[in-house]
């Protein structure tokens, strides 16, 4: 439910669209740039939700069900380490993963978390598909600054433009 009142908790949007653009505002059409959404916990650990990959047009579409599926994976990896995602602060950070982060994620999903966690099956057909996404990440080809935004329920959908530079 949308409200005009300010809330102290995150309200997960129904849809988030993130468009990569160049410094002059032109679309940056680059497939498989991976992003994470960091939701800041008031208690216990923060959530680093993702990866969310751009399509061939350089656009990422994230749905509420994607966010909830990623939160479920966090609970599966350590239920006692997380309070419900709905109790996070409304201010979140959307950031491209660094090349190092994608490599570390691939290593973790190859040697530690070797199967899909609860919720991830809603986004990925197999652990191999998720590993492929990390292997093919185009993040090493761009630089972009993280974006701090507020998800407080004032609107069910958000659209952002993120300026990126090709290395």
In a domain, 122, yes or no: yes
Helix axes 99-111, 127-135, angle to 10 degrees: 150
- The pLDDT score that the predictor gives to residue 1 is 44
In a domain, 3, yes or no: no
Phi/psi of residue 24, each to 5°?
Answer: -90, 5
In the predicted model, is pLDDT for residue 78 greater than 70? Answer: yes
In a domain, 10, yes or no: no
**Which domain, by its residues, includes 159?**
15-166
In a domain, 7, yes or no: no
- The pLDDT score that the predictor gives to residue 85 is 95
In a domain, 50, yes or no: yes
Average confidence (pLDDT) over 93-110: 97
Tally of structural domains, the chain: 1
CA gap 18, 7 in Å, rounded: 23
In a domain, 83, yes or no: yes
- The pLDDT score that the predictor gives to residue 79 is 58
In a domain, 8, yes or no: no
In a domain, 23, yes or no: yes
* Bridge pairing between strands 157-166 and 15-21: parallel
In the predicted model, is pLDDT for residue 3 greater than 50? Answer: no
**Sheet holding 142-144: strands in order across?**
59-63, 15-21, 157-166, 142-144
Q: What is the pLDDT of residues 41-66, one digit of tens each?
A: 998 899 999 999 999 999 999 999 99
Q: What is the pLDDT of residues 135-156, one digit of tens each?
A: 999 999 999 999 999 999 999 9
State pTM to two decimals. 0.93
């Amino acid at each position: 439910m949308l409200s005009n009142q300010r809330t102290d908790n995150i309200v997960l949007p129904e849809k988030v669209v993130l468009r990569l653009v160049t410094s002059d505002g032109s679309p940056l059409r680059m497939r498989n740039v991976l992003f994470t959404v960091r939701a800041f916990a008031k208690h216990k650990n923060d959530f680093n939700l993702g990866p969310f990959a751009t399509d061939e047009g350089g656009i990422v579409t994230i749905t509420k069900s994607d966010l909830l599926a990623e939160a479920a994976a966090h609970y599966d990896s350590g239920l006692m380490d997380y309070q419900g995602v709905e109790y996070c602060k409304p201010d979140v950070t959307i950031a491209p993963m660094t090349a190092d982060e994608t490599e570390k994620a691939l290593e973790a999903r190859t040697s530690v978390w070797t199967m899909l966690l609860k919720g991830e099956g809603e986004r990925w057909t197999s652990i191999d598909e998720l590993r492929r996404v990390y292997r093919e990440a185009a993040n090493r080809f761009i630089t972009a600054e993280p974006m701090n935004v507020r998800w407080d329920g004032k609107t069910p959908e958000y659209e952002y433009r993120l300026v990126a530079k090709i290395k």
